[in-house]
Every structure is written in structure tokens, then in C-alpha cells.
Chain A
Amino acid sequence: MIPWDKLHGATTHFPIALLLFSTLCDFVSVTFKKLPFARGLRLVSFYGLAVAALGSLGAVVSGIALAKGDLWGRGYLGWHHRFVWPAFGLLVALAVWRLVVGCEMSRVGTRVYLILMLLASGFVAAAGYFGGEILLSGSGVP
């Protein structure tokens, strides 16, 4: 019997942390673009986002197994999923876009990208919050 609850716990936190850190690095590099390490921060955010997207695949697979294939659910699980799926879709899309474009983004491209990164971070944070509520409420999944 595979301990999906432990695997899900082990695989979710890295993508969450990496996405939030990547967003932070992007914002700092854009806000302080004249700093000597601004370009370095953009590289860090790029690799952070790529690893977060790859890691999210493991988190999603273990989550689906843990919820026994229930992709929506009710209560906290339902709220968790309402935020997880948009976050997952956005994370993959943003990672692919960065892979294609690299660090050379136009001004408009950068703005759109940062807004979407902020949105993805919000979705991921909310999904993580409701994931924690599932545990703390003692209700388990499902």
C-alpha cells in the first residue's frame, strides 16, 4: 500500500515554495533592474519556475491518488481543488512560456507575465491553505 498522504505532503511543498520564491525574484529583479544581481535573480526565477512545474506533476499525481480520483469533492477538499486546478494550469503555462521566451521579455510581456505569476501564487497559496484545513479539521480525504 503506497502512503499517498505522506507522498502528497512530501511533494506539494517544494512547488509551492519555488513558485512563491520565483515570483518574488521576478518582482525584485524588475523593480530593481539596475542592481548588478538583477539578471541573476531572473535566472533563479526561471529555474525555480521550471522545477516548480516539474514538481507539481508529482504533487498532482499523489493528490489524485490520495483523493481516490475525486477531482472536485466537497467542503475543504472542494475549495482545495477550486484553487489547485487553475494554479496547476497557470504554473505549467508560465513555465512553458518562460522556456520558449527565456529571460529576454518585452515590457508588455513582462507585465503580463508578472500579473499571471502573482495570480498563480495566489491560487497556490489558497490551495495550500485549504489543503492544510483538510488536515487540521481532522476530516481526512475525502
Chain B
Amino acid sequence: MTPLEIKGAVAAVVTSVVILVATFTAGGIYRNHRGGETELGGKPLVAEDLAAKGRGFFLRSCAQCHGRDADGGEDAPSLLNLQISGAHMTLVIQSGIKGEMPSFSKKYDAQDTAAIVAYLKGVNKSGVKPPGTHL
């Protein structure tokens, strides 16, 4: 390597480190600035609220068939060990399954469906129920 390339490498490493440190510092300051919007655990309230809201929708429309704890009923399977993505869950909730499950697209808009998906994802994480689940 030429002396100019070595000089360039030093400049490159120094600049990169400085920019990364500045980015992480700025990110940390921004996160702390928004600290008022989070609980002590540091988890955003938005995500918790969403899952709690989804739990409400679930109890209203899904629990009748899938069980109050999403562990299945006589006519519908358990939702505790789902191996599908959130997008797939959204699709099933919105479109239904022909002859098996009705569509909920008229009852729940995209935001409501996202809340139900957030709740289902919560109960699918090693059996740990999301905050807001008291039953």
C-alpha cells in the first residue's frame, strides 16, 4: 500500500468512528429525551397499549371460538403456537378462511387488526402474556 493509502485509511477509520460515536450519542440523547413516554422497564407504552387494545378486540370477537386465552375451542384451533408472520395473521383476520372463519375487515380497520396481531404475537412469545393481560 502507498503512503497516501495508509494516510487515507487512518482518516477513514477516524472519521467512521467519530460519526458512529456521534450517532450513538445523539440516539441516546434522543431516547432519553423521549423517556417520559416510556415506563420504568424502558419498553414503549405504545407497544403495550397496542397489545392491550388487541386483547380487548380478541375477547370481543375471537375468544368465542378460539378460547379466552387463545388456547383453542371446540370449533377453532389454538393460536398459542402460531408459526406464521404478522402479515399472514393480518391477512387471515381481514380475509377470513372460506367455510371456517369469517372476515373481520368491516369490523376492524388496519390499526385495529395490528392491535390484534400485536396481542397474538405477545401470547406466542414463550407463553408470556403481554402487559395488559390479567385473565
Q: Choose among A85, A89, A109, A142 the residue that contacts B47 (Cβ–Cβ < 8 A).
A: A142
Distance in angstroms between the alpha carbons of A106 and B1 in the assembled complex: 6
Could you tell me if B30 and A108 are in contact, using CB atoms closer than 8 angstroms? no
Using CB atoms, name the residue of chain B closest to A95: B12
Using CB atoms, name the residue of chain B closest to A106: B2
Known contacts A136-B87, A137-B86, A140-B114; is-contact A90 B16 (Cβ 8 Å):
yes
Could you tell me if A100 and B8 are in contact, using CB atoms closer than 8 angstroms? yes
Q: For the complex, would chain A's binding face be called helix, strand, loop or mixed by DSSP majority?
A: helix
0 or 1 for each of B29-61: is its CB under 8 Å from A? (1 = yes): 111111001000000100100000000000000
Q: For the complex, would chain B's binding face be called helix, strand, loop or mixed by DSSP majority?
A: helix
- Chain B residues lying within 8 Å of A98, measured Cβ to Cβ, are 8
Give the segment of A5-13, A28-36, A40-48, A66-74 that binds chain B.
A66-74
- Chain A residues lying within 8 Å of B17, measured Cβ to Cβ, are 89
Q: Choose among A68, A88, A94, A137 the residue that contacts B34 (Cβ–Cβ < 8 A).
A: A68
Q: Choose among B12, B16, B23, B90 the residue that contacts A100 (Cβ–Cβ < 8 A).
A: B12
Q: Does B128 contact A (CB under 8 A)?
A: no
Q: Does A115 contact B (CB under 8 A)?
A: no
Distance in angstroms between the alpha carbons of A136 and B12 in the assembled complex: 36
Distance in angstroms between the alpha carbons of A89 and B31 in the assembled complex: 21
0 or 1 for each of A98-142: is its CB under 8 Å from B? (1 = yes): 111100011011001000000000000000000000001111101
Could you tell me if B11 and A100 are in contact, using CB atoms closer than 8 angstroms? yes
The count of residues in chain B whose C-beta lies closer than 8 Å to any C-beta of chain A is 38
- Quote the shortest CB–CB distance from B26 to chain A (angstroms): 7
Q: Does A38 contact B (CB under 8 A)?
A: no
- Quote the shortest CB–CB distance from B16 to chain A (angstroms): 4
Known contacts A85-B20, A138-B117; is-contact A97 B27 (Cβ 8 Å):
no
- Chain B residues lying within 8 Å of A68, measured Cβ to Cβ, are 30-31, 34, 37, 44
- Quote the shortest CB–CB distance from A142 to chain B (angstroms): 6
- Chain B residues lying within 8 Å of A17, measured Cβ to Cβ, are none
Q: Does B7 contact A (CB under 8 A)?
A: yes
- Chain A residues lying within 8 Å of B85, measured Cβ to Cβ, are 136-138
> Which residue among B7, B12, B20, B30 has the maximum number of chain A CB atoms within 10 Å of its CB?
B12
22 contacting pairs across A/B (C-beta < 8 A): A60-B23, A64-B23, A68-B37, A69-B29, A71-B27, A71-B28, A89-B17, A92-B12, A94-B12, A96-B8, A96-B16, A97-B9, A97-B11, A97-B12, A98-B8, A100-B11, A106-B1, A109-B5, A112-B1, A138-B86, A138-B90, A138-B114
- Where the two chains meet, the residues of A that have a C-beta atom closer than 8 Å to any C-beta of B are 60, 64-65, 68-71, 85, 88-90, 92-94, 96-101, 105-106, 108-109, 112, 136-140, 142
